[in-house]
Structure 1
Amino acid sequence: MTAPSGFTVSAGAPPFFAARIALVFCAPMMVNGIALPFFPLWLETLSMSDFQIGIVLAVPMFVRVFTAPVAGMAADRLGERSIVLLWSGILSLLTGLALFGASGFWPILLLYTLQGAVYSPYVPITDAIALSGVRRWNFDYGRMRLWGSLAFILATMIGGWLAGLHGGAIVLPTMVAAFALTVLGALIVPKIGKPRRPSPIAAIAAAPAATLRQRDVQLMLIGVSLVNASHAMLYAFSVIYWQKMGFSGTAIGILWSAGVLAEVILFVFAIRLRRRFNLWSMMIFGSLVAVGRWLAFPLETGFAGYFVLQCLHAFTFAILHISVQSRLVERVAEEQEAAAQGLYFFYTGIFMAVATFLSGYAFNWYGVHGFYLMSAIAAAGLVFVVAGRFVAPQAAVQPQSAASGG
């Protein structure tokens, strides 16, 4: 087997495949880098309550769990996945423009839910095209995806700086500008023809294979998805809370960027971690850190303390994501790969939507102390992960050998 080619030319691949995919990843990550931290800030400028903000953020998460698979199936059946990518970018841009003329809770809820529905397949389909390049021409997925993370950091820093200067009113224009980049990304994405395997999101529609119905796999996916969902209040209300504490927009951008940068650094060392530690131990450790992270969040530790807590994102998300993906490779056959990823997407989407909905209540009633609820959700995830560890076949619990790691 040859080494991954990164950004070098590979025989038979579309011209500049890896560089083009890297640019395409940047576009939706720019959207997410603005929307994820700062869209709740824009909602607050419209005098929405914390409860209403929670609903506006949660409902699209429910909807995307069902619309993304439909779009994925359409993309897989068409001769070219990029067609759906283009429509996703155009419709997302139009809904962003429509939000300029919306006022009141119900119109914004309707438009933002519609935006969530049409935008939901963009990143998964980009992932599917990138992974086709990995399988067919041996490109390095990590080197392509890394640029998306860097774009997220850049967008978050720019968004924080602009929010500090102009307040939450600047959020929607910057989101719309980023959506325009998704249209451009869909125009430059490599055309690779009909897919040889279904997209993960399309595979949700199929019944889970026998391997996916095994208890250890199900418990693991539910547990890790619950820990992922425990981040809901951070995503929905951290910027509002930090702004009320007096942090500048730039400082808030730094805090969000710290979490993503820590995540990227951990991904860099992922192979070494897998060779040194048992996958179950990594999942249990990450779940424990999540429980502690949300217990510490209400302590008002100041900028330095929150910076450290944000860096723990490397363990509360990245190490869990690496572990569950590696475990799926071990336990699920290659032909079931798409179904496994689709099931992971489904669980994470449903639990995140429920947790976001509950966070609106919790933050409205208890303020920052609502993070104790997030700690309880992470603890529930920890219980499921530990249960999965105990019911897993003994051979799958042992540490990996150097040959199997990486």
Structure 2
Amino acid sequence: MKLRISMFYLFLYIGMGSFMPFMSLFLNERGYDGATIGIILAAGSLTGIAAQPIFGLINDAARDYRTLLKVSSFLSAIVAFGFIFSHAFIPMMITAIVFSFLNTPAGTIVDAITVENGPKFGFTFGQVRLWGALGFAFITVIAGYVYSAIGYHYSFLAFSFFAIIMFLLMFTFPKLERAKRPEVLGKEVLGALFTNWHFGLFLGITLLISGSVTMNFSYLPIYFQKLNYPVDLVGWNFTIAAVVEIPLFWLSAKLIRRIGLFPMLILGIFAYAIKYIVMGFAPPVGVVLSLQALDGLAFAFYFSSAVEIVNLMAPKHAKATAQTLFAAAGGIAGIVGNVVGGLIVDQQGPQYLFLLMGGIVLLGTLLFIFFPGKRKYQLVINDTNGTEDTSMSH
């Protein structure tokens, strides 16, 4: 079972890496300006957010989780061709919306199945999710060279190929018990979360960070194009970041134990700020590529600590809901970031966009440095001797 899930993650993220980092270049190749690109990307993101609870309910009602994953993989492979044949704005928007709706379940459902069933089969989430990161790192560096030579529309052919592999792989999976139904977003649960004003403040600050991170992911290829850097090197940006984050995610528990949750969070966000500000001055392309190591460090530090902080802030009966709200906040920030980023690229250029992103993230860093009551959010980690070690924010 471990091998099957590992291979599913591998092909899932190879498929995603084959087109996602190059989506803005594909749309630019089709003649869309920055503002329109932002609208199309935002529409896809919004659809993905809306689709998650719908497919969560379907998955809860389904007798066999494999059916939904088969449908998602197969139909996504077909709908991806819509991008190739769409040129006008309306067909492109419809394709982006339908594709995002159908493609959403794959990652979320397999994550839930892995977390629920991993212990029974003797593996952890990290052990199999690692293959996804490796697949993403592998494909992005190759795809950057290939698409710059033959055209970015071929990225959707690549995605469809790997989606069909996922579809076929599903036939080898055994029937498993479904993941447990998550907590319902009721008044009682939401009230318990938002009466803790620390949680609301934390979400508010992370909105600033997530919006900037999304703008970086969406408009980094346009940054390369407009500043006349070799566009075939775009894939290396994402590969370098992914390669750096893999070992740091693996080491995250030890790092949290050593320095604490909030210090680790602050270091990660500050790394984002440095990267964005330096890129705003259009340094040589070698420096830009080197800065992507900061992106990998930032994501690993920020995400691994933020998830734990959200978990500690939430009451016992609302922890899953808190994580859902945290993820949703990031998605909403991404939608705003895509739209605003497209407008800024058109009006002021990519350098101004990255300087602005750096300033926003630097503000987020300062807000977390002075975050009230951060000392009380500490993580208890079991060490190798079975005793408990307390990681505390300083």
Deviation at 1:272, TM superposition (A): 1.7
Aligned with 2:108: secondary structure? helix
> Is residue 285 from structure 1 mapped to residue 267 from structure 2 by the alignment?
yes
Question: What's 1:40 paired with?
Answer: 24
> Is residue 355 from structure 1 mapped to residue 342 from structure 2 by the alignment?
no
Deviation at 1:246, TM superposition (A): 4.4
Question: What's 1:81 paired with?
Answer: 65
> For 2:244 and 2:51, how far apart are their aligned partners in 1?
31
> For 2:331 and 2:339, how far apart are their aligned partners in 1?
12
Deviation at 1:128, TM superposition (A): 0.3
> Is residue 370 from structure 1 mapped to residue 387 from structure 2 by the alignment?
no
Question: What's 1:270 paired with?
Answer: 252
Question: What's 1:183 paired with?
Answer: 167
> For 2:120 and 2:274, how far apart are their aligned partners in 1?
42
Question: What's 1:165 paired with?
Answer: 149
Matched positions, count: 384
Aligned partner of 1:43: which letter? L
Q: Does structure 2 conserve the Cα–Cα contact (< 8 Å) formed by 1:162 and 1:170?
A: no
Deviation at 1:95, TM superposition (A): 1.2
Q: Does structure 2 conserve the Cα–Cα contact (< 8 Å) formed by 1:363 and 1:370?
A: yes
Deviation at 1:189, TM superposition (A): 4.0
Q: Does structure 2 conserve the Cα–Cα contact (< 8 Å) formed by 1:89 and 1:182?
A: yes
Per-residue CA distance 1:27-83 (angstroms, 9 max, x = gap): 221222122211211111111111111111111111211111110121122222222
CA gap of 1:183–1:76, structure 2 versus 1, over 3 A, is same
Bigger drift between 345-354 and 100-109 goes to 100-109
> Is residue 212 from structure 1 mapped to residue 193 from structure 2 by the alignment?
yes
Aligned with 1:231: secondary structure? helix
Q: Does structure 2 conserve the Cα–Cα contact (< 8 Å) formed by 1:278 and 1:400?
A: no
CA gap of 1:375–1:248, structure 2 versus 1, over 3 A, is closer
> For 1:175 and 1:73, how far apart are their aligned partners in 2?
27
Aligned with 1:312: secondary structure? helix
Question: What's 1:12 paired with?
Answer: none
CA gap of 1:166–1:370, structure 2 versus 1, over 3 A, is same
Deviation at 1:380, TM superposition (A): 4.9
Question: What's 2:372 paired with?
Answer: 390
Aligned partner of 1:126: which letter? V
Flag structure 2 segments of 5+ consecutive residues without an equivalent: none
CA gap of 1:112–1:289, structure 2 versus 1, over 3 A, is same
> For 2:368 and 2:171, how far apart are their aligned partners in 1?
42
Alignment of 1:3-402 (within 5 A): 17-195=1-179, 197-199=180-182, 203=183, 205-207=185-187, 208-209=189-190, 211-213=192-194, 214-248=196-230, 250-332=232-314, 335-368=317-350, 369-382=352-365, 385-386=368-369, 389-392=371-374, 394-396=375-377
> For 2:210 and 2:390, how far apart are their aligned partners in 1?
24
> For 2:16 and 2:264, how far apart are their aligned partners in 1?
27
Flag structure 1 segments of 5+ consecutive residues without an equivalent: 1-16
Tell me how large the CA RMSD over aligned residues is. Answer: 2.5
Identity of aligned residues (%): 21
CA gap of 1:315–1:139, structure 2 versus 1, over 3 A, is same
Aligned partner of 1:396: which letter? Y
Bigger drift between 318-327 and 330-339 goes to 330-339
> For 1:153 and 1:134, how far apart are their aligned partners in 2?
24
Deviation at 1:209, TM superposition (A): 4.8
CA gap of 1:177–1:53, structure 2 versus 1, over 3 A, is same
Bigger drift between 331-340 and 305-314 goes to 331-340
> For 2:197 and 2:171, how far apart are their aligned partners in 1?
43
Deviation at 1:377, TM superposition (A): 3.5
CA gap of 1:73–1:193, structure 2 versus 1, over 3 A, is same
Deviation at 1:287, TM superposition (A): 2.1
Aligned with 1:198: secondary structure? coil
> For 2:173 and 2:185, how far apart are their aligned partners in 1?
26
Bigger drift between 44-53 and 366-375 goes to 366-375
> For 1:59 and 1:376, how far apart are their aligned partners in 2?
26
Deviation at 1:233, TM superposition (A): 2.3
